[in-house]
A and B are shown apart, each in its own frame.
Chain A
Amino acid sequence: MKRLLFAVAVLSPVVAWGDSSPLKFKTYRDWDLELPEAEAKPLSGPIVLEGMKMAFNTGVEGTALQVDKDGDGNFDVKVTGESGLVTLQGETQRYALRVANQGTGWHAMPGGAMVGKVRGQQVRLIDQNLNGRFDDYGVDAMIVGRGKHASFLSRVINVRGDLVSIAVAPDGTSVTWEPYQGERGTLDFGTSFASKGKLLGAVVVESSKQLSYTLTSRAMTVPAGNYQLHQGRIGLGRNVVSFGPGKMGMLAVTAGETMAVTLGEPVTIDFKYVRQPGRVIMAPQLVSYVGKAGEVYDQWTPFGGSPQFEVKDMESGKQLAIAVFGGC
């Protein structure tokens, strides 16, 4: 049933569905959304927005980025400094890009989202691959509700506990939905979550790549299927750490059952080092932190203290050196 539904959705995303609502583009000038794939795309040549059926020239003038904001072929705006936010004007809608140059050329990232409501719940769709289409399921991103941690664009979403099948117009200007009819189970990352931090969001993806959800401390009803953790974030105040699947296996959610996962402690640290005559060399990138479910933690932000390494003589137990990672 689920596969059939997908086929229908692909062939005719906005036909024969129940309710529909419009979506409108919103620019996020103070970007604070977390995307599952936050990779910046190099800007070389025109920005082609397939979904808007338009292309916008870009060029570099000195160190500044020039952009044709209305698609007429002429440069209209110039971005100086190291970063900026550019708004492109299509024939019917806007489109925003965050741009940055960290010394290796200008790169672009999403700067806005299509925003609307499904069953009264806010949904935001982000064109994560910057092709101007908002219906790339499993590739684009979405947020259901008030959070800021996006999952991949999913064909079935959880709206206040209910599952709803959705279809998004290619240009993102509307979303159509109807109740999800398939089997469902529960994914629970929160009940036995062992950490002093808060699970801000853990993105899971179903094996077909067509379903994706952001789990928090509450268990969530999801369509039955095999899910894989994509990435997650834990926060403690302004401190945040990301985690990836590491050695975590597939999470099988069966109909009517709850799949509970225990993330967090105890955590083990694995680290590699290089021995040279009279020296032991350790590097932060060679250290990994592995949680109970096999998840691996990295990208600690903003910052913190280094682990302290003790180097001991194996025979005598004598401490030879104590070291920490210094700053840069």
Chain B
Amino acid sequence: MVKLRLILLAILSMTGVVVAQVQPAQLLGPGAAGPGAPPGDPFAPPSQEPTEPFEVGGDTTATHGRIPVNVVGGRLVAHCEISTIHRRIPANLFIDLESPSVFQLHNNAAGPLKVENEAGETIPITVHFPEFQVVLPRREEGPEDVFAEFTRLYSREIGEDAVVGALGAQFFKDYALVLDLPAGYVHVEPPTVDESPPEEGTLRVPVSTTDDIIWLPVTLPGDEKAAMALGTVEEDSMVDAVWSDELGHPYGDLDTLLLGDANLAERMAFRPAEINFVHEDGAFGIIGLSLLQQMRVAIDHARTRADIVFTEAPAYPKEEAAFYEALVEDDPELFMAFLQTHAEARHRQEAAERLLHAHLDSDAEPELMEQAIAWLSETWRKDIRATRALDLMKELSEAGYADAALDAGKHGVEGGREDRYPNAVHQIHARMGEILLGKEDLKQAWRHLLSAAFGLPEDGMINLHLGQCYEKQGRYQRAMSRYVQALLDAASGEQAVDALARVSRLMGEGEALTVDRIEPLIAGKTYGYSAATRYRPTEEEKAAKRVALVEFFTNAQHKHPTRDEGAIGGALGNEGVLSYFPRTHVAALAYHLPHPQLGMDSLTNEVAQAQADVYGVPPAIHIVNGVAQFPGQGKARDAEQIYKTGRDVVREALRQPATVMLELDATLEGKVLKGALVVEGVDALDARVHLVLAERGVLYPGRSKVIVHRMVARAALTRSVMGEPYQANEEGKMTLTFQRNLAEIAQGNRFYLEEIQGEGKGAVQPYATRMDPKQITLVAFVRDNDTREVLQAIQIDPVLVDAKEGESSS
């Protein structure tokens, strides 16, 4: 869903707007000091006391106070709790003084807090800090991927509570604000007027604001005036690259950059960058966290002045200047020199990454790659080393550097036990095993893959590769076992199907791989559902002589991102219905449909789409006799409920007397299917006769976790996918004969999928179009086009005729 964004106002300063107006969220605080608040004068000299631990939510009436903050991963982070009338959650928030926003909140937090309803109504949100709380009328949406990635990498440092949002510059706009990062606090204080002169050692400068972003005045070389913003989203302090270049300092290596009489260039190297701000004096740069950690900055509530106390003596970081020079020149030699010279520099990780990238681009010698990888791995924190190595392995593998990827993997394995994500080391082993398998180093590949499978026993690709390893070693029984496990995962299912067939042949078992053979092997490893009882028709139902048609519209990839919910619930309910009713009373068809938000379902075909168009339904519903319905999706544990609902709907349908009679005969000789359908007793003026080829079971592991799909419609055996108009002969019957070749049908379905693929709707898996003659079944039905009611249905299996001997079996 597209979102509208508050920055419109901030960027464009709208006027003349029509009815809808953006109303920036208003802080309900700050007010007068509440009991128990505020600690100290915001313009007093910095406290040297160590940071005290806080209990969140101590005073429920104070509206201002201190916010304990930490610099983590280059961001300023505050711990808090967030509540609405519905719920209260612990969380972390970024403090983002560069953002013209009030309060950004991740959808994952906004959902449980129910901050908005479907009608667009909002409820107040309270942010609880240790010393005070603030009530906000509504939230804004934020960069959710940034919040999520930060949480992934730094969850331990932030107390295992996710970063769910950010407090922007507008949150702080009505407060006197003290950034006391050396002491670990941001203070927000009520509006006060303090005309006292600055204390000794305090630098007082005027400030200005644009969209509540705070700017400090600076003087550039040549006495040029400009402004720098206070920023809290980068450790680096940055200067406009083009401007700095024009000043003769392309690397940001300014001699002087005066803030009042303090020369910031003595204590900071500046990173040349694009500065996406405007200021009437010129937006020269942004003061980042590394500089803010050397100073205490107190801004008055009116945003007229800043009192600054430097808490550290100037010490120019030469290593940072060296890095920025390498960065601007993009020179591997300079990065290498930087890494060799500055063992403790803050930018080592970025330098090593850039060096490695340069080596990849120049196809450098393996030794150089190894060195860069070693440098890079040294910069990874111990508790995330395996995770980082895994990311690097992916990058190197995709760049085609298998040996370098193995090297990165070795570094990752060394940190595996300490990694905060215990699966990372198993995934590294999996990748290493896959690479070594490709190199035919079967022994080492097996060793790594077995380690991987130990930690991730249900991972499809690991089992597939382990199976391939066994297969190459001639250990077919073990290979078979691994391939069966691989079959259960959408990522490896297609290859597992082929591999099982291949190993089956290698084992001399002759018989083609069939659903009937696979099902016992996967029993107990997949979801399944069968009705506990069997259908017994009532006299009324017997008299009705009705065969109900259950049409299941689905998509094999339909699954909730994190739960076993989606098509699985519908499929299990469907299995329940089919196990309860014999086919003498219920005929069934499953139509697999494409969907723009789901992955490609390669069981999709023309007849499925045509039947969905008749009803105008999504791929998540059961239709009974064209006029009733029951759910086609749900949680796996919903299976029984869906089955029972469906059972009752079908029984109701079976009580409707039928006048239409259908008689269907078919034989399948080799690939040739032929037969005849006789229809009589149709009164409807606009009835159409449908005859659909289906398979009782199709092996197609999709994301939905449905492995074997039931009653999959494959093709219409009528001239049109919309069926044939009912036209009775003199005897009051319509006879429809048919003869089709299964190979041609499969080919037609492949072409259909390729057309879809050509439209950019996803990659198809052609194997899914193959048909197993032993699974072939036919469903015929008559539908009243006016009412869409299905008047009667029938399902039969064709008689299988041995093409060589002319013998038949059913």
Contacts and interface: CB of A to CB of B under 8 A. Distances in A.
Interface of A: 25-27, 29, 42-44, 60-64, 69-70, 76-81, 84-87, 89, 94, 103-107, 146-148, 194-198, 200, 217, 234-241, 264-271, 282, 284-285, 287, 289, 291, 297, 300-310, 321-328
A196 B13 contact: yes
Interface of B is mostly: loop
Given A148-B274, A285-B2, A305-B101, A326 B398 contact: no
A185 to B, nearest CB: 24
Nearest to A26: B361
Contacts of A44: 757-758, 760, 763
Interface of B: 1-8, 10-25, 98-102, 104, 107, 110-111, 116-122, 138-144, 146, 210-211, 213, 233, 241-242, 245, 274-278, 283, 357, 360-361, 363, 394-395, 397-400, 460-461, 489-495, 557, 596-600, 757-763, 765
Interface centre among B121, B141, B494 (most CB of A within 10 A): B141
A299 to B, nearest CB: 9
B757 A269 contact: no
Interface centre among A146, A196, A268 (most CB of B within 10 A): A196
Interface of A is mostly: strand
B17 to A, nearest CB: 5
B143 A303 contact: yes
Contact of B11 (A236, A268, A307): A236
A313 B400 CA distance: 65
Nearest to A61: B495
A104 B107 CA distance: 23
A107 B23 CA distance: 39
Contacts of B25: 305
Contacts of B11: 195-197, 234, 236, 239, 241
Nearest to A112: B361
A284 B495 contact: no
Contacts of A306: 3-6, 22, 120, 140
Nearest to B276: A235
A284 B4 contact: yes
A304 B12 contact: no
B119 A323 contact: yes
Given A308-B23, A327-B141, 13 more contacts: A26-B361, A29-B357, A42-B760, A62-B492, A84-B394, A105-B599, A196-B11, A196-B12, A217-B278, A236-B10, A240-B276, A304-B141, A308-B20
Given A234-B11, A236-B100, A284-B2, A307 B22 contact: yes
Contact of B116 (A197, A198, A326): A326
A268 B399 CA distance: 48
B761 to A, nearest CB: 6
B516 to A, nearest CB: 24
B3 A300 contact: yes
B1 A284 contact: yes
A198 B276 contact: yes
Given A236-B211, A239-B7, A297-B8, A103 B278 contact: no
A259 B140 CA distance: 38
B495 A104 contact: no
Contacts of B241: 146
Contacts of A310: 19-21
B17 A105 contact: no
A327 B3 contact: yes
Contact of B142 (A64, A194, A241, A302): A302
Contacts of A61: 494-495
A27 B460 CA distance: 32
Nearest to A312: B19
A326 B19 contact: no
A326 B4 CA distance: 10
Contacts of B122: 324
Contact of A322 (B121, B394, B493): B121
Contact of B7 (A63, A148, A241, A327): A241
A87 B761 contact: no
B357 A196 contact: no
A62 B493 contact: yes
A269 B99 contact: no
B491 A103 contact: no
A305 B138 CA distance: 9
A305 B4 CA distance: 6
A310 B21 CA distance: 8
B591 to A, nearest CB: 20
B394 A81 contact: yes
B18 A268 contact: yes
B238 to A, nearest CB: 12
B400 A77 contact: yes
Given A103-B597, A304-B141, A29 B400 contact: no
Nearest to B145: A302
Contacts of A198: 275-278, 283
Nearest to A291: B12
A49 to B, nearest CB: 16
Contact of A62 (B2, B104, B495): B495
Contacts of B599: 63, 103-105
Nearest to B461: A62
Given A239-B7, A241-B8, A302-B143, A84 B398 contact: yes
Closest 3 CB pairs of A and B: A304-B5, A323-B120, A42-B760
Contact of B110 (A267, A308, A325, A327): A327
A37 to B, nearest CB: 16
A306 to B, nearest CB: 5
B18 A237 contact: no
A302 B146 contact: yes
Contacts of B101: 239, 304-305
A62 B19 contact: no
Interface centre among A25, A29, A291 (most CB of B within 10 A): A29
Given A79-B398, A304-B8, A268 B98 contact: no
Contact of B213 (A89, A237, A304): A237
A301 B122 CA distance: 22
Contacts of B118: 326
B599 to A, nearest CB: 5
Nearest to B102: A305
Nearest to A237: B98
Interface centre among A77, A107, A147, A326 (most CB of B within 10 A): A326
Contacts of A240: 276
Given A62-B460, A269-B20, A287-B20, A76 B761 contact: no
A284 B141 CA distance: 14
Contact of B494 (A62, A235, A271): A62
A43 B7 CA distance: 35
B248 to A, nearest CB: 15
B360 A27 contact: yes
14 contacts: A62-B493, A87-B360, A195-B13, A239-B7, A265-B12, A266-B15, A304-B5, A304-B6, A306-B140, A310-B21, A322-B121, A324-B116, A325-B120, A328-B1
B16 A239 contact: no
Nearest to B142: A303
A105 B491 contact: no
Contacts of B277: 198, 236-237
Contacts of B276: 197-198, 200, 235-238, 240
A301 B101 CA distance: 13
A103 B597 CA distance: 7
A26 B331 CA distance: 13
B100 A237 contact: yes
A327 B141 CA distance: 7
Contacts of A104: 596, 599-600, 760-762
Contacts of A297: 8, 12
A156 B678 CA distance: 75
Nearest to B703: A63
A250 B434 CA distance: 57
A196 B14 contact: no
A300 B398 contact: no
A323 B461 CA distance: 48
A309 B119 CA distance: 11
Contact of B10 (A60, A86, A89, A196): A196
